[in-house]
Structure 1
Amino acid sequence: MKSTTTSVPDQIMRRARGSGRGSVFTPQDFLDVAARAAVDQALSRLVKRGKLRRLARGLYDYPKIHPKLGPLSPAPDDVARALARETGSRAQIAGAHAANALGLSAQVPAKSLYLTDGPSRRIVLGKRVVDLRHASPKHLIAPGSPAGTVVQALRHVGPVRADDVARVAVGRLSASDKKVLVSNAVQAPAWMRPTLISIGNTPADAVNG
């Protein structure tokens, strides 16, 4: 009787296909499949076969393919999430990237900044840079959530544009996200708190209506 055991590379590819094109992985994501040495060897083989792409040391993706441009760069958010999963940490969009994600700026920054409670790491993807920067707990308010993105966007633009952040955030955050914002407002700098509480207590239809 033939063995039905699936090889490690095949198991990894099955999971990659299940996650879809554009998904990003580290070896840590496959340690339930095999031991680290076997996973590393399987990933190396899949890269050589052109099935997966090595983005950086210990970082791989199942790239989206454009019919004319070929393999596309992965989304910075997916890269940051993969790196955070690897260390069991959290990553939060910050800086100009947070302002852009909230719709306060149409310009996509060349560097995508994330604050993390894990180790710092910088990944260069062509002309784009994904920068994970270790931050203290006081700078990580509601990390990984839409509420956290509002806090970081507000931190980036400063008090002068606080009203702009509030106007956009009121219409974008769900009721549950607003509750998270209000419950975490006490952790924010004093100048931010009135704006965060105002966003959290204003229903979306008060702006859209």
Structure 2
Amino acid sequence: MKSLPRLILDIAEQLPEGEVLRSGRFLHLGSRSAVQRALARLVVEQKLFRVDRGFYVAAVDGRFGRRSPAPTRVVRSLANALGEMIVEHGAHSANKLGLSTQIPVRCIFLSTGRSRELHIGKKVVSIRHAPKWLMALGETGAGDAVRALESLGPLWAADAVPKLHERLPEGEWSALVRARGTYPSWIWNAIQAHMGG
């Protein structure tokens, strides 16, 4: 008969990379304390990573040995598990949209939920609670544009808006314009100045 840690690991290894597991998922295999001990043992053996209280993720066996899963995959899975929206930080959006050449070094995300730090192997991922206006357009091109502008700040917004208009699909640009009441006036002023109004 397989041991409890082996049973847990068998389940974890069948999931896609970065899929988070709640400790409560394994209570059908044993008592709460036995499950906690088994999870702790798997973490010590680096077969699982404890990313947040009660959430674990399996290590990935790659060509060069065992590694931690990609932070973006873990964050997306955690967002689904918690029912939160978690998106990339505006600095990443600015780089992705070609508004900045700086590549963010730190792994930072914005969330509709509480702020927290995840520890995924040796990587620390920061998730920061964001104001509603910054998340209002969700995981869309228009939402990325608002977060990019917020990251660049009022001094650079006027220079960035024409580039955004050029790079965003027309539907995303229209969504950005229609949502003018959701974000600070300095963002709308930059958009309005570009449109000649």
TM-score by length of 2: 0.67
1:80 to 75, 88, 91: 75
1:119 to 101, 114, 117: 114
Deviation at 1:100, TM superposition (A): 2.9
2:56 to 57, 60, 83: 60
2:195 corresponds to 1:173: no
Deviation at 1:46, TM superposition (A): 10
Q: Structure 2 vs 1, CA of residues 63 and 187 (structure 1 numbering), >3 Å: closer, same or farther?
A: same
Q: Structure 2 vs 1, CA of residues 45 and 124 (structure 1 numbering), >3 Å: closer, same or farther?
A: closer
| 71-80 or 182-191, larger mean C-alpha shift | 71-80
The residue type paired with residue 91 of structure 2 is A
1:97 to 76, 92, 95: 92
1:131 to 116, 126, 135: 126
5+ residue gaps in structure 1? 1-6, 202-209
CA contact (8 A) 1:181 1:197 kept: no
CA contact (8 A) 2:19 2:73 kept: yes
Q: Deviations over 1:173-193 (max 9, x none)?
A: 334433432332220111111
Deviation at 1:160, TM superposition (A): 2.8
Q: Deviations over 1:135-180 (max 9, x none)?
A: 3323323133332221111011123322453354335433443343
CA contact (8 A) 1:141 1:151 kept: no
Q: How high is the sequence identity, in percent, across the aligned residues?
A: 27
Within-5 A mapping of 1:3-82: 10-14=10-14, 16=15, 19=16, 21=17, 23-27=18-22, 41=35, 44=39, 47=42, 53-57=48-52, 58-68=54-64, 70-82=65-77
Match of 2:139 in 1: 144
Q: Structure 2 vs 1, CA of residues 66 and 169 (structure 1 numbering), >3 Å: closer, same or farther?
A: farther
CA contact (8 A) 2:157 2:190 kept: yes
Deviation at 1:72, TM superposition (A): 4.2
CA contact (8 A) 1:24 1:79 kept: yes
Q: Structure 2 vs 1, CA of residues 56 and 179 (structure 1 numbering), >3 Å: closer, same or farther?
A: same
5+ residue gaps in structure 2? 1-6
Tell me, what secondary structure is at the counterpart of 1:82?
helix
| 113-122 or 177-186, larger mean C-alpha shift | 177-186
CA contact (8 A) 2:134 2:146 kept: no
Q: Structure 2 vs 1, CA of residues 26 and 11 (structure 1 numbering), >3 Å: closer, same or farther?
A: closer
Q: Distance in 1 between matches of 2:66 and 2:163?
A: 34
CA contact (8 A) 1:84 1:118 kept: no
